[in-house]
């Protein structure tokens, strides 16, 4: 199977230096990774919308795109993204002059895993847990809910766009501020609120109240959902803190500007 994401990443990585000649290897790898993430997320969200809108019965209805997307795009992307994140980490430290980053080694890999442990575990869990469930253990049921999980990628284009705008020096423009609001909104809706929504849909199908749904599902299903949801809560808190710090800095900058203007007026 050809890794389409790897081919796309290499292509973008070769084009960017010819356009932005002042960028370092770290800049090129970062933007390449984010562009590939952006494109994959748009595809995953589109696939999720198609699957969800096509399933009237949330348990038994099938759609061919569910398995096809996981096999041909989900798995290659998750594998590629771990490698791309490592390269981004490696070149960032190499450009900053760290001696141990003159070449790839077990030390650089270990450093990456320690710094990005949660992200790495998240990707590995999707490959080793969600993939087998999707392909083998769900007994050809629940395409609707797999489609819902595809929709968790809706926030990724906004996250990727934010990092690209910062790389382009546009972090103070209105587009970056509006994008930041979309990051928080899309992340909350599609990575946090989506899980109680899926429980509610399941309960409505079987005519049981929302609070009874966890007891109607298997322990493995509840634990799997919890393992996916827990890091999303952690990342959302980090995003909120980052947004609050940015708001404080902009407020201080406005106050300083007003004081300066008043002094000039005096």
User: For the residues of 81-140, what is the DSSP string, one character each?
Assistant: HHHHHHHHHHHHHHHTT-GGGSS--HHHHHHHHHHTHHHHHHHHHIIIIIHHIIIIISTT
CA 35 to chain centre: 12
Q: Are 41 and 153 in contact (CB under 8 A)?
A: yes
Q: What's residue 2's pLDDT?
A: 47
Provide the pLDDT for residue 233: 96
Here the tokens at position 110 are 């270990």
- Asked if residue 73 lies in contact with residue 58, where contact means CB atoms within 8 angstroms, the answer is no
Q: Determine the Cα–Cα distance for residues 134 and 160; give it in Å rounded to an integer.
A: 27
Q: Which residues are within 8 A (CB) of 171 and not within 5 positions of it... i.e. 6 or more apart?
A: 165
Determine, yes or no, domain membership for 235: no
Within-domain flag for 205: yes
- What is the spatial distance between Cα 122 and Cα 35, in angstroms, rounded to a whole number? 20
Q: Could you tell me if residue 117 is inside a domain?
A: yes
**Can you say whether the dihedral through the CA atoms of 51, 54, 56, 60 is positive or negative?**
negative
pLDDT tens-place string over residues 102-112: 899 999 999 99
| Amino acid 249: pLDDT | 75
- Spans of the chain below 50 pLDDT: 1-2
- Count of the separate structural domains present in the chain: 1
Structural tokens at position 1: 């199977």
Q: Does a structural domain hold residue 248? A: no
Distance CA 63, CA 54 (A): 7
Q: What is the pLDDT of residue 125?
A: 86
User: Each residue of 148-176: pLDDT tens digit?
Assistant: 999 999 999 999 999 999 888 888 889 99
Predicted local confidence at residue 131, as pLDDT: 83
The answer to whether residue 214 sits within a structural domain is: yes
The whole-angstrom distance between residue 135's C-alpha and the CA centroid of its chain comes to 22
Q: Give the pLDDT confidence score for residue 258 in this predicted structure.
A: 54
Alpha carbon distances (Å) from 20 to 6, 8, 14, 223, 247: 21, 18, 11, 46, 30
Q: CA-to-CA distance for 128 and 121, rounded, in angstroms?
A: 10
Dihedral pair phi/psi, residue 182, rounded to 5°? -70, -35
Residue 263 in domain: no
Q: Determine the length of the chain.
A: 266
pLDDT in the model for residue 172: 83
> Does residue 258 sit within a domain?
no
Q: How many other C-beta atoms are found inside a 10 Å radius of the C-beta of residue 87?
A: 21
Residue 193 lies in a domain: yes
| CA distance linking residue 191 with residue 231, whole number of Å | 10
| Domain limits for position 42 | 4-230
- By the 10 Å C-beta count (0-12 exposed, 13-18 middle, 19+ buried), 256 is classed as exposed
Give the model's pLDDT for residue 231: 93
**DSSP 3-state of 217:** coil
């Amino acid at each position: 199977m050809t890794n389409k994401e790897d081919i796309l990443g290499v292509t973008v990585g070769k084009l960017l230096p010819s356009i932005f000649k002042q960028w370092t290897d770290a800049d090129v790898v970062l933007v390449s990774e984010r562009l590939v993430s952006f494109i994959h997320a748009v595809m995953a969200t589109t696939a999720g919308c198609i699957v969800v809108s096509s399933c009237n019965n949330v348990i038994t209805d099938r759609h061919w795109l569910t398995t096809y997307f996981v096999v041909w795009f989900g798995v290659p992307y998750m594998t590629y993204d771990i490698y791309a994140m490592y390269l981004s980490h490696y070149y960032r430290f190499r450009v900053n002059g760290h001696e141990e980053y003159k070449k790839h080694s077990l030390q650089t890999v270990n450093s990456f895993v320690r710094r990005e442990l949660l992200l790495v575990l998240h990707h590995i869990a999707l490959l080793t847990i969600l993939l087998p469930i999707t392909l083998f253990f769900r007994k050809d049921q629940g395409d609707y809910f797999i489609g819902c999980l595809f929709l968790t990628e809706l926030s990724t284009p906004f996250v990727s766009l934010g990092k690209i705008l910062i790389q382009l020096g546009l972090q103070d423009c209105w587009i970056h501020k509006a994008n930041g609001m979309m990051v928080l909104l899309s992340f909350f809706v599609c990575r946090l609120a989506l899980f109680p929504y899926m429980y509610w849909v399941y309960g409505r199908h079987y005519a049981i109240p929302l609070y009874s749904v966890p007891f109607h599902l298997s322990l493995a299903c509840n634990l799997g959902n919890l393992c996916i949801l827990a890091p999303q809560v952690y990342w959302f808190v980090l995003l909120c803190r980052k947004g609050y710090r940015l708001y404080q800095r902009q407020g201080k900058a406005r106050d300083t500007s007003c004081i300066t203007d008043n002094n000039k007026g005096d």
